Structure 1
C-alpha cells in the first residue's frame, strides 16, 4: 500500500493543485428529490465555489440547454485576464431513478465526471457537487453555489454552506466568485 501511495501521490498532486482534496473516499450526499431538468435549464451565475484550476476568472456563469439528441449543452463563460473565455461541455443523466445525478464532460477524451444537483429551488439558488475517488485513498471534490442573479444574500449563502456541511462536504475553503462589473465592457 505504501508503494502505491509513493508512486501515485507525487504524480497526482500537481493535478489537484488548486483543487480541494481529502483523504478517504467521496462522501455520498443526498441529491435533489424529484429533480426537474427542464426547470433547472437556463443561465446560472457562480456565487461561491471550492477552488478549481479551471475557474480562475470572474463573472463566471453556466448556461444549460437541451440539444436535439437529448444531451445537455453546458456552456461555461468567465472573464480571465481581461478576456472572455468559454468552455463547452456535455451533461447526461446517469441514473433514471436519480435524475439529479448528472455526468459532465468537457472533452471527447475524458469520461463523464459526477455533477450532482444537491438542492435547488430552480428560481434563485442551486447547490452542485462533484467528487472523484482516487483509489479510495483520497478524493478530489468540487462544490458550487449558483444563483439566477449575480449576487445572493449572505444568509442564503450561509444556509447553502450548512446544507453541504450536513452532507459531510467540507466547504471551509469555499471562495466567492467576483461578479462585480460583469455586465459592461471588459
Structure 2
C-alpha cells in the first residue's frame, strides 16, 4: 500500500511544483495601467481565467475583494473553493501602490512581497493582472489573471481582456478558465 501511495504523492507534488508558466531570462516589464484610480478599482472581482498556479490548483468560485486601507494601500482577500471538499479558503494580503498600476503585494505569512501589476482595467467590467518572480537557472515564473466584475462575463468582455493579455506580450492560449458554477 505504501509503495503505491508514495509515487502518487510524489507525482502530485511534482505537478504542483510545475504548475506555473516558466520562461527563460528575466521577468518581462509590460506596460501597466496609467493614471490608475485605486478608489475605482475597489470592490469584488471574479477570476475568469488564469495562468496555472500551484497555490490555486483547480480551485473554483475564486473571487477577490479589494478595500482601500489608505491613499496608496489596499487590503485584498482572495477566496478559493476546493471543488472536491467544497471548503473555502481565504488568502489575505496588503498591496501597496508604488506607481500607476504597479503594486507590491504581501500575503499573510509570506516572507518577501511579490509584484502585482494591473496591466489594464476599465474598472467596471474587467482587469488583467500580472505577477512575475525570478526562478532558478535564469528563468522566471509568470502569472496572468483575467478578473471580471461579473461571475460570468460577456463574450465581449472576455475578448477585450484576452486582447490585453496578447498585446502585453503574453499568450492567452495558456489561460485556464476558472469554474464559477454552483458558487
- The question of a shared fold, defined as TM-score above 0.5 by the shorter chain, is answered with yes
**Matches of residues 61-140 of structure 1 in structure 2 within 5 Å?**
61-67=63-69, 71-80=73-82, 81-94=85-98, 98-134=99-135, 137-140=138-141
Question: Do the aligned residues in 2 keep the contact of 1:16 with 1:140 (CA within 8 Å)?
Answer: no
Question: Do the aligned residues in 1 keep the contact of 2:78 with 2:92 (CA within 8 Å)?
Answer: yes
User: For 2:70 and 2:165, how far apart are their aligned partners in 1?
Assistant: 34
Write out the 4+ residue segments of structure 1 that deviate beyond 6 Å after TM superposition. Answer: none
Root mean square deviation of aligned Cα: 2.0
Question: Do the aligned residues in 1 keep the contact of 2:16 with 2:54 (CA within 8 Å)?
Answer: no
Residue ranges of structure 2 left out of the alignment (5+ in a row): 1-13
Question: How many residues are treated as equivalent by the alignment?
Answer: 167
Q: What TM-score, normalized to structure 1?
A: 0.82
Question: Do the aligned residues in 2 keep the contact of 1:131 with 1:140 (CA within 8 Å)?
Answer: yes
Deviations 1:83-106 (A, max 9, x none): 111111111112xxx221011111
Q: What TM-score, normalized to structure 2?
A: 0.83
Question: Do the aligned residues in 2 keep the contact of 1:46 with 1:61 (CA within 8 Å)?
Answer: yes
1:29 corresponding residue in structure 2: 30
Deviations 1:51-93 (A, max 9, x none): 1111131100001112269632110111113111111111111
Specify which of 60, 63, 73 is matched with residue 62 of structure 2: 60
User: For 1:70 and 1:162, how far apart are their aligned partners in 2?
Assistant: 28
